[in-house]
Structure 1
Amino acid sequence: MSRSLSIFGATGSVGEQTLDLVRRNRADWNVVALTANSNVAALADTAREFAAEVAVVADERHLDDLRDALAGSGIEAAAGRSALCEAAARPVDMTVAAIVGCAGLGPVMAAIEQSGTIALANKEALVSAGEVMTAAVDRHGATLLPVDSEHNAIFQCLQGGELADVRSITLTASGGPLRLVEDLSAVTPEQAIAHPNWDMGAKISVDSATMFNKGLELIEAHHLFPVGLDRIRIVVHPQSVIHSMVEYRDGSTLAQLGPSDMRVPIASCLAWPARMDTPMAPLDLPAIGEMSFFAPDEVRFPATRLAREAAQAGGAAPAVLNAANEIAVAAFLDRKIPFSRIALLVEDVLNQGDLPSPPQTLEDVLRVDEDARALAMRMLEPA
């Protein structure tokens, strides 16, 4: 019997890899909604291939183009933020939430309110609205399955275990493409997005280079696996073979190993609580040879320190950190600021006056996000 599926961010890296798995198991899935930011051609082609019920483009300027591309298909076309949330509100067996950044928060919340199962690849949503989102999950009886390779690894290591028995959780980090680069001020966008192990989009690749990706993942893990911030650790593991580890109070440590391909954690979520085939070759440990581990360098890469401090502060601090980082990364990719200023801008925004009151609703979170973005933009302006 086929299951119904919606994919938000269908033309991005995670969305495309999800569709690859669905394509290989076509009889198992009935695609309901597909969305993209502005890539109308890819969205329309994908919607036609999978006979989706609705295709939504976030940028309203492209609605006419989408309608033209879907003409005669019987597939509904829509555009804009409200249309994304309306599509997410359509009941399905599983929603893959892969919109990058805080822009994905509204659709995630709409999917949660349908009491469905959400495969969450949008870490920024949980970072910005952790308490609000987890409360909504409890209230509506929804299920969150983590797609991030690290959190999916922890999820797998915890199956059959109790959080009360956990001594510590260790998130592994590749260290990104710049771990051994001496002059970070001269780094170009091309260097920052050239990840040695993972094939990811530009924003998350830059986050990996700055280590903000790992900082955001620390906050995400704090909400998904509430063992206490002092029990969540980060270790740099350049080979990206071990994706995370869980240590139990009896001294046992469970680690999840796998290839550096997002189709593995995506498949884990799609098939949960069962398993499914993927096209990945088995790990060849003799070929890998050696695995190494290092403590993060929080002097050269202060992002993990800033994220931990924001998590400890709680309230609006994580949302402010995430918003400032999104603005800083966009400015770097547009060659407006050097790589070395990304973390400095985030820290300046966090330290600029009193933080807003802790958000209680989605609207509160979005207001904090908007204000923090505006502040970051003002701080980017020439003196």
Structure 2
Amino acid sequence: MKTLAIIGSTGSIGNSALKVYKNHKKKFKLIYLCANSNIAKLSKQIKEFKPQNAFLLDDKKIPKNKNLKLLNKNYALRYKQKKIDYVISGVSGYDSLNINLKLVRISKNLLIANKETIICGSNYFLDYAKKNNCNIIPIDSEHYCLNFFIKNFNIQNLIDEVYLVASGGPFLEKKIRYNENVKNVISHPTWKMGKKISVDSSTFANKILELFEAKILFKLNKNKIKILIEKKSNVHAIIKLKNNLYFPIMHKPNMIIAISNSLNVTNYFKMQLENLKIFFKEPDLKKFPIIKLGYKILRNYNNAGALLFTVINQRLVELYLKGKINYGEISHILVKVFKQKKLINLSRKKLNNLNDINRLIEFGQELKL
């Protein structure tokens, strides 16, 4: 029986992970359930799934209810403990880097859906995981597909180009209003996700983050990673080899597939191939200006530029969700700040250690927008 922990259990990734666990309880011992602050939902999960222990990432939200026993976060994430076979990290945002750095110390395999950690931590994070004998398994659909294909078919040296495939979001075939309301923005046509990632999907910021992540994870040529649109989300990535063979990687648009396969258990989401129609198109760079900016950062700057994009974009999305800026200002401000000379210079900087990373994150947090 393998040991399992689910960090961010009350979010969309956590919910999918618990569905997988529910179908394969005999194969796993559930060591931890962990939420950020949603104590009500975590309490229900504890009653239903009966983990060995549970804890909150937000210490300020720990309840005084004596009937609900939660571990201290620092104790749960202590370095000197027996490694957990599989830890699923569904925490969100760039500020999850520090949590994920702690998780690699207690994990044999870290299943991670947090692209911001890969982008901000970049090679430092991957090297730290390797030092701690932790295998990083990306479970975003695009990166899971690439990771599976590259590792199992040993084709790294044969790859010419990689296409990450987007659905196009809610506005692919609709006019975008500058003051678009939140309900329309987060109405994703094929995926059920949290608010922040849904906003990112609508602007294509999410796909740009995925480009950055793919470059870091798979050491891909920065000029050979592109975006295509397939609005049904049946195809998640396409690998083009140097001999002009193309390999589209397909599966039903459901996170349970990547999580199940990464845990080495079965899933039952077969695709209906009969009469399946798939059409690809390139994204409209004028309609979605964040794509053009993302390509520029990817091809002209170091990982520092990707980090700054990540931090500033998250700030803007949070301001929009709080009603402090209009929807159209997300793209407008993001493109505008990347014209600043100081920011451009910092984007070319090489990040050598965690101090460099944290200082640049702080700059992005304090930059006047």
Give the TM-score normalised by the residue count of structure 2.
0.91
2:324 aligned counterpart, secondary structure: coil
- Separation in structure 2 between the aligned mates of residue 250 and residue 350 of structure 1, nearest angstrom: 37
Which letter does structure 2 place at the counterpart of 1:333? L
> Is the 1:89–1:114 Cα contact (8 Å) retained in structure 2?
yes
1:77 aligns with 2:71: yes
For residues 274-332 of structure 1, the C-alpha deviation after alignment (integer angstroms, 9 at most, x for no partner) is xx32243x2112354x2111111122212222223333311422111111111111111
Deviation, 1:42, is 1.4
> Is the 1:219–1:308 Cα contact (8 Å) retained in structure 2?
no
Deviation, 1:90, is 6.0
For residues 93-113 of structure 1, the C-alpha deviation after alignment (integer angstroms, 9 at most, x for no partner) is 111111011122112112223
> Is the 2:105–2:132 Cα contact (8 Å) retained in structure 1?
yes
For residues 70-129 of structure 1, the C-alpha deviation after alignment (integer angstroms, 9 at most, x for no partner) is 24xxxx4335xx567548976211111110111221121122234621111001111112
- Separation in structure 1 between the aligned mates of residue 212 and residue 66 of structure 2, nearest angstrom: 42
1:295 aligns with 2:307: no
Structure-to-structure mapping, 1:131-280, within 5 angstroms: 131-158=123-150, 159-271=152-264, 276-280=265-269
1:95 aligned counterpart, secondary structure: strand
Distance change (3 Å), C-alpha of 1:252 and 1:28: same
- 29-38 or 143-152: bigger deviation: 29-38
Let me know the Cα RMSD of the aligned residues: 2.2
Structure-to-structure mapping, 1:1-383, within 5 angstroms: 2-65=1-64, 68=66, 70-71=68-69, 76-79=70-73, 85-86=77-78, 91-114=83-106, 116-158=108-150, 159-271=152-264, 276-280=265-269, 282-288=270-276, 290-312=277-299, 313-355=301-343, 356=346, 357-375=349-367, 378-379=368-369
1:135 aligned counterpart, secondary structure: helix
Which letter does structure 2 place at the counterpart of 1:354? K
- Separation in structure 1 between the aligned mates of residue 235 and residue 34 of structure 2, nearest angstrom: 32
Which letter does structure 2 place at the counterpart of 1:329? V
Which letter does structure 2 place at the counterpart of 1:210? T
Which letter does structure 1 place at the counterpart of 2:29? N
- Separation in structure 1 between the aligned mates of residue 56 and residue 252 of structure 2, nearest angstrom: 32
Which letter does structure 2 place at the counterpart of 1:8? I
1:332 aligned counterpart, secondary structure: helix
Which letter does structure 2 place at the counterpart of 1:60? D
Distance change (3 Å), C-alpha of 1:197 and 1:302: same
- Separation in structure 2 between the aligned mates of residue 89 and residue 18 of structure 1, nearest angstrom: 23
> Is the 1:177–1:191 Cα contact (8 Å) retained in structure 2?
yes
Deviation, 1:28, is 0.8
- Separation in structure 2 between the aligned mates of residue 68 and residue 206 of structure 1, nearest angstrom: 38
Deviation, 1:9, is 0.9
Distance change (3 Å), C-alpha of 1:87 and 1:304: farther
> Structure 1 unaligned runs (5+)?
none
Deviation, 1:342, is 0.7
> Is the 1:324–1:345 Cα contact (8 Å) retained in structure 2?
no
2:71 aligned counterpart, secondary structure: strand
For residues 207-250 of structure 1, the C-alpha deviation after alignment (integer angstroms, 9 at most, x for no partner) is 10000010000000001111211121210111111111112223
- Separation in structure 2 between the aligned mates of residue 358 and residue 184 of structure 1, nearest angstrom: 38
Aligned sequence identity (%)? 25
- 358-367 or 159-168: bigger deviation: 358-367
> Is the 1:54–1:87 Cα contact (8 Å) retained in structure 2?
no
Distance change (3 Å), C-alpha of 1:19 and 1:87: farther
Distance change (3 Å), C-alpha of 1:269 and 1:189: same
Which letter does structure 1 place at the counterpart of 2:331? A
- Separation in structure 1 between the aligned mates of residue 362 and residue 203 of structure 2, nearest angstrom: 23
> Is the 2:79–2:105 Cα contact (8 Å) retained in structure 1?
no
> Structure 2 unaligned runs (5+)?
none
- Separation in structure 2 between the aligned mates of residue 349 and residue 190 of structure 1, nearest angstrom: 27
- Separation in structure 1 between the aligned mates of residue 12 and residue 140 of structure 2, nearest angstrom: 12
Deviation, 1:131, is 2.0
> Is the 1:173–1:237 Cα contact (8 Å) retained in structure 2?
yes
For residues 138-158 of structure 1, the C-alpha deviation after alignment (integer angstroms, 9 at most, x for no partner) is 333321111001111112322
